[in-house]
Amino acid sequence: MSNSKSPLRIFEGHQNFRLRIVLATLSGIPIKLEKIRSNDLNPGLKDYEVSFLRLIETVTNGSTIEISYTGTTLIYRPGIIYGGSYTHQCPNSKPVGYFIEPMLYLAPFSKKKFSLLFKGITASHKDAGIDVLKWGMLPVLEKFGVRECALHTLKRGSPPLGGGEVHLVVDSLIAQPITMHELETPIISSIRGVAYSTRVSPSLVNRMIDGAQKVLKDVGCTVNITADVWRGENSGKSPGWGITLLAEMKKNWCLFSECIGDAGDVPEDIGAKAAYHLLEEISRSTAIGRGQLPLAIVFMVIGKEDIGRLRINKNQIDENFIHLLRDIKKIFGTEVYLKPVNDPESDDFIATVKGVGFTNANKKIA
């Protein structure tokens, strides 16, 4: 709910655009974003950012968004998270993952259940693919008590023309996230994955699987990568292929990597690249990967007034992490305390944070 008494929190630049909007929505604090690409040849908000704002306006009730004439300044006054059933047509400049990812932060705290159908591109080099969101992000939500959450791929749509359809359903509406305590690095029990193709020869999929399995043959656990070949109407408008790998750990944690192929790429190399990325991610992560970290930290911050703890790897502390913590502090006023673990053989840290006691405005706590 919008807190009209709160002063505007002012941010500069377009960095962390979605997260800032999400944090403002969760906290109910209005924000002002200034100097959005003010020095660029094409200043102001991009089409996908405007599309994202439209989506936010759709799933909330009472939000107001003011954009300056040049698009370089934005004032966002959040309303309540309302949810409901909608269809969002994503622009082809960003995949559906760009829009779905922030919805995962908001959906559990809405008044009505979320049932959003996203249309557009389903894979890209920079943003989350649908398999990663489904197998990598939803388990993180589960850890915080959001259990009834599903992402259904109705159609795959490869870039540049897309044509995919993905249905996000969040039935679990919770009052508060559960406090997180994960002080260990769980053992990886298996590696699984999916290699997919749309409108290209299915042999590419098998070649990607071969490439990945060759790299992962020595890991000493089960490796199971399935082929997912899409044909006909459900395979979108453009040819494409890619692979997503998942390292499953004890306690239902998982790490992931994904790669998509472009024209001229060798399928075996794409499979091997995804496998290398997964190994690299494993070496740089604990229970949680770099892509999952912001979601976990934000849910820890908005949790009940209790101390949550999460073990993180030294390599996970990078520029993105610092920007995340600074934005959280600016909006919620809370800090994350980092303490090295009591183990001389480990460089890991324990991120400790006291929840701000956020409660879903639409839920009453007994």
Binding site for another protein (CB under 8 A): 13, 15-19, 39, 97-98, 101, 125-128, 132, 185, 187-190, 215, 218-222, 258, 269, 272-273, 275-277, 279-283, 290-291, 317-320, 322-323, 325-326, 329, 335-340, 344-347, 349
Whose Cβ is closer to another protein: residue 173's or residue 310's? 310
* Burial of 342: CB neighbours in 10 Å, binned 0-12, 13-18, 19+: exposed
- CA triple 142-162-115, angle to 5 deg: 35
- The CB-of-2 to another protein minimum distance in angstroms stands at 25
Q: What CA–CA distance (Å, rounded) separates 187 from 172?
A: 29
Interhelix angle 96-106/293-301, nearest 10 degrees: 20
DSSP single-letter state for residue 150: E
Could you tell me which residues come within 8 angstroms of residue 207 by beta carbon, excluding any fewer than 6 positions away? 267, 268, 271
Which residue has tokens 């840290």? 349
User: What DSSP character marks residue 314?
Assistant: G
Q: Closest distance between another protein and the C-beta of residue 255, in Å? A: 10
**At closest approach, how far in Å is the CB of 174 from another protein?**
24
Residue number with CB closer to another protein (218 or 233): 218
Q: What's the residue count for the chain?
A: 366
Half-sphere exposure of 6 toward its Cβ, with a 13 Å CA cutoff? 21
101 closest CA partner among 294, 235, 358 = 294
Least separation in angstroms between CB 97 and another protein: 7
Residue closer to another protein (CB basis): 112 or 309:
309
Tokens of 333: 């006023």
Instruction: Look at the block and give the residue holding tokens 């599903």.
Output: 150
DSSP 167-192: EEEE----SSPPPPEE-S-PPEEEEE
Phi, psi for 231 (deg, rounded to 5): -130, 165
- Are the C-beta atoms of residues 305 and 355 closer than 8 Å to each other? yes
| Shortest Å, Cβ 217 to another protein | 9
Nearest distance in Å: CB 76, another protein: 17
Distance in Å, CB of 104 to another protein, minimum = 12
Q: How far is the CB of 238 from another protein (least distance, A)?
A: 20
Report how far residue 293's alpha carbon sits from residue 81's, in angstroms, rounded to the nearest whole number: 23
CB nearer another protein, residue 86 or residue 337: 337
